[in-house]
């Protein structure tokens, strides 16, 4: 920032106020755990910032019998507390309670995790992909709902004129799991992340994070599993299918080379299926 220029900081109390600041070029500040490290990455902090933490509707988790709505400013810690014990959301809870470290989880938000454009290792992205979450945006033209796969693919463009406000989840999962491979217990970004879920139709959903720049569903593996016998939830068998259908292009990074991120996927899938089988939801299938 140029010397003598005062930074603009708006603590919005409504979505409309936040959008007005965004329209004037302010960057959205959620928990700050990504943006505050911009200077460490050689990036200047934005000259204008709009904070969302004072908008009450964005800090709520609404748990209803058939759906869940998560405010974008809900922290990882709060999300874990709100959904702990909810059948079908075991993976999302594990993602919220296993990311980073406890101090970060008390600050970092759901919206921030999904909107940090250069953050490939976001834990919530694959966990929400297998939930087939819907992302609610407030755009300059009005509200908009978008499937999370499309949101993640297009978020660079979308976020130039929109703010993520809520995440909507159907309660159609009977079990889920979230497996991550960090190099240490905490403090590292995971080398690879695999989220898995089984829906009421006994279809298995699988998503992978941190291997490619943006998390995505592993549709080739899902289709291979769907083509198999009903007893497809065998960890060894699924790991073999994962090896056969590994269509990921691993990204090189300081934690790990791309080939390694790709290579660890079958064993992570095996662990994930074993975790699924240990849940109550799958045990009685």
Partner 1 sequence: MVVTFQLNGEDCRLDGDPMTPLVDILRQERFLTGTKAVCREGFCGACMVHVDDEAVPSCLKPIGLVQGCAVTTIEGLSSGNQALHPLQANFEAADAVQCGMCFPGMVMSLSAFVRDNPHASRPEIKAAMVGNICRCTGYERIVDAVADCLDQARKAGQLAGGIHV
- Is the Cβ–Cβ distance between 120 and 129 less than 8 Å? no
Q: Which is nearer to partner 1, 187 or 213 (CB)?
A: 187
**Rounded distance, CA 105 to CA 222, Å?**
31
The answer to whether 124 touches 65, Cβ cutoff 8 Å, is: no
Torsion (CA) 254, 257, 263, 265 in degrees, nearest 10: 30
45 vs 283, beta carbon nearer partner 1: 45
Using CB under 8 A, which of the segments 95-103, 236-244, 260-268, 272-280 binds partner 1?
95-103
Short-list 1, 83, 87, CA closest to 38: 1
**Residue among 33, 138, 210, 246 that touches partner 1 (CB under 8 A):** 33
Least distance between partner 1 and beta carbon 281 (Å): 25
Q: Is 100 in the site for partner 1 (CB under 8 A)?
A: yes
Residue 11 interacting with partner 1 (CB under 8 A): yes
In the bound complex, what is the minimum distance in angstroms from residue 161's beta carbon to partner 1? 23
Cβ burial 218-241 (10 Å sphere, 16+ → b, else e):
bebbbebbeeeeeebbbbebbbeb
State yes or no: residue 106 binds partner 1 (CB under 8 A).
yes
107 binds partner 1 (CB under 8 A): yes
Q: Which of 29, 115, 125, 211 is close enough to bind partner 1 by CB under 8 A?
A: 29
Is 6 a binding residue for partner 1 by CB under 8 A? The answer is: yes
Which residue lies nearer to partner 1 by CB, 133 or 275?
A: 275
Q: What tokens were used for 18?
A: 């936040």
Rounded Cα distance between 242 and 64, Å, is 35
Residue numbers 149-168 binding partner 1 by CB under 8 A: none
- Cβ–Cβ < 8 Å for 132, 148: yes
Which of 15, 17, 32, 57 contacts partner 1 by CB under 8 A?
32
Q: Which is nearer to partner 1, 48 or 243 (CB)?
A: 48
Spatial distance between the Cα atoms of 255 and 261, rounded to a whole number of angstroms = 10
**Which residue, 40 or 156, has its beta carbon nearer to partner 1?**
40
Contact (Cβ atoms closer than 8 angstroms) between residue 198 and residue 233: yes
Which of 56, 102 has the CB closer to partner 1? 102
Q: Rounded CA gap, 270 and 110, in Å?
A: 27
Residues that bind partner 1 (CB under 8 A): 6-7, 9, 11, 29, 31-33, 36-37, 40, 45, 49, 51, 53, 100-104, 106-107, 185-187
């Amino acid at each position: 920032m140029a010397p003598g220029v005062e930074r603009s900081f708006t603590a919005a109390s409504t979505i409309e106020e936040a959008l007005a600041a965004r329209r004037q070029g302010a960057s959205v500040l959620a928990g700050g755990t990504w943006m505050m490290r911009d200077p460490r990455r050689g990036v200047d902090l934005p000259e204008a910032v709009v904070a969302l933490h004072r908008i009450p509707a964005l800090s709520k988790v609404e748990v209803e019998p058939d759906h869940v709505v998560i405010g974008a400013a809900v922290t990882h810690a709060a999300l874990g507390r709100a959904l702990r014990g909810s059948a079908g959301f075991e993976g999302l809870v594990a993602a919220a309670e296993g990311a980073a470290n406890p101090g970060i989880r008390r600050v970092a938000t759901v919206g921030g995790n999904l909107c940090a454009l250069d953050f490939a290792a976001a834990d919530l992205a694959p966990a929400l992909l297998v939930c087939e979450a819907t992302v609610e945006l407030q755009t300059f033209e009005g509200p908009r709902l978008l499937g999370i796969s499309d949101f993640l693919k297009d978020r660079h463009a979308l976020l130039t004129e929109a703010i993520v406000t809520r995440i909507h989840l159907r309660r159609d999962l009977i079990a889920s799991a979230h497996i991550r491979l960090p190099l240490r217990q905490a403090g590292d970004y995971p080398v690879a992340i695999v989220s898995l879920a089984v829906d009421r139709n006994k279809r298995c959903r699988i998503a992978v994070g941190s291997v490619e720049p943006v998390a995505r569903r592993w549709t080739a593996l899902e289709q291979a599993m769907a083509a198999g016998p009903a007893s497809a939830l065998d960890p060894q068998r699924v790991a073999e299918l994962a090896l056969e259908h590994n269509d990921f292009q691993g990204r090189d990074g300081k934690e790990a080379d791309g080939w390694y991120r790709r290579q660890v996927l079958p064993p992570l899938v095996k662990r994930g299926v074993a975790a699924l089988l240990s849940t109550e939801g799958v045990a009685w299938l």
